[in-house]
Amino acid sequence: MLRYMLFTRALDAKTLSLQRQGRAATYAPSIGEEATQIGSAMAMGDGDFFVPNFRQHGVYLARGLPLELFFLYWKGFEEGGAIPKSVAGFPYIVPVSSQLPHAAGIALAQKYLKTGKSVVGYVGDGGTSEGNFYETMNFAGVMAIPLVIIIENNQWAISVPRSSQSVAPTLAQKGIAAGIKVLQVDGNDVVAVYKAVREALNDAVNGIPSLLECVTYRMSMHTTADDPTKYRDPADVEVWKKRDPIDRIRKYLVGKGLWDDKKEADAAEEFKKAIDEAVEKAEKFTPNPETMFTNVYSYMPEVLQEELDDAKANGFYQK
């Protein structure tokens, strides 16, 4: 868990650097939220699906997404969103909460096909104010689908604080009216997140959907187009720095004699090498315009085939 959390933070640092150099698109850092992401990702079984929003970098990493695809996506190439089937995940979703009905549909498919697999959908605290969120919970409860919704409550919806999103004492309790299980978890405790998600997934396959609120904090900006110093009290950030999820699990493992400075240095070097190699591959990438047709459906519909043939016939692109 610690290795993946450190890897995620190293990935964030590199992508932020690339964005500032003009070598990557607008990026949403996950700094401070690694425990929620890695704990939940490692709780999933083989074949369980996940449906992200735009910040689940650690989930992709732990689920085995090739790093080259990660950088292709953040360089603006849609090919980076062609997620390998082995990852059992879906592309980044930017429109807030629009991914949750998709997650519900995929979960319904698992129930219908009797696959024994579950679906984990992610949403931010701001996303819990959207209609798609409530509709998904209601559908999950009525249809008893194998779905676990994780609220990654990082306290900020861009510049809007949690207190302005809802006066409900917890965001988890929003699921009570839908008749699904709810739980609030310390999202900076990777072991607690793992345990909660593992138990929720065990329930899910038995037709008991859940809503989990992981309480964490967005240590960085909403995206690289944002300046949190304009709206956030620095003192608040300092309080949450003391709750850094990586520091917590690191101190625990050091105390158990399972981690030390050498292991951390070796890991950092390993991650740097993997990231640098992936960036190099991504920057050599040449896009094929044909993928705008071939990556849309699991098969080629007649209407798209006609458009592809027309594009080729009229020289709109060359391979």
What are the chain's domains? 2-287 (3.40.50.970), 289-319 (no CATH)
- Digit-by-digit pLDDT tens for the chain (319 residues) are 999 999 999 999 999 999 999 999 999 999 999 999 999 999 999 999 999 999 999 999 999 999 999 999 999 998 999 999 999 999 999 999 999 999 999 999 999 999 999 999 999 999 999 999 999 999 999 999 999 999 999 999 999 999 999 999 999 999 999 999 999 999 999 999 999 999 999 999 999 999 999 999 999 999 999 999 999 999 999 999 999 999 999 999 999 999 999 999 999 999 999 999 999 999 999 988 888 888 888 889 999 999 999 988 988 766 5
The pTM of this model reads 0.95
Q: Quick check: 123 and 53 in contact, CB under 8 A?
A: yes
- Which entry of 20, 112, 231, 317 is annotated as an active-site residue? 231
- Which entry of 9, 55, 63, 222 is annotated as an active-site residue? 222
Give the model's pLDDT for residue 244: 98
The DSSP annotation for 252-298 comes to HHHHTTS--HHHHHHHHHHHHHHHHHHHHHHHT----TTHHHHTSSS
Active site residue 198: no
**Gyration radius of the chain over CA positions:** 20
Q: Which pair of structure tokens corresponds to residue 179? A: 């008749």
Distances in Å between the Cα of 152 and the Cα atoms of 33, 133, 155, 287 are 8, 13, 9, 33
Active site residue 217: no
Distances in Å between the Cα of 18 and the Cα atoms of 11, 71, 80, 282 are 11, 10, 16, 12
Active site residue 23: no
- What is the Cα–Cα distance from 139 to 106, expressed in whole angstroms? 12
Residues listed for the chain: 319
Q: Quick check: 72 and 113 in contact, CB under 8 A?
A: no
Beta-carbon contacts of residue 130 (< 8 Å; ≥ 6 apart): 96, 97
φ and ψ of 167, to 5 deg: -95, 0
Q: Quick check: 93 and 136 in contact, CB under 8 A?
A: no
Q: Quick check: 101 and 135 in contact, CB under 8 A?
A: yes
- Which entry of 9, 55, 63, 218 is annotated as an active-site residue? 218
- What is the Cα–Cα distance from 219 to 228, expressed in whole angstroms? 10
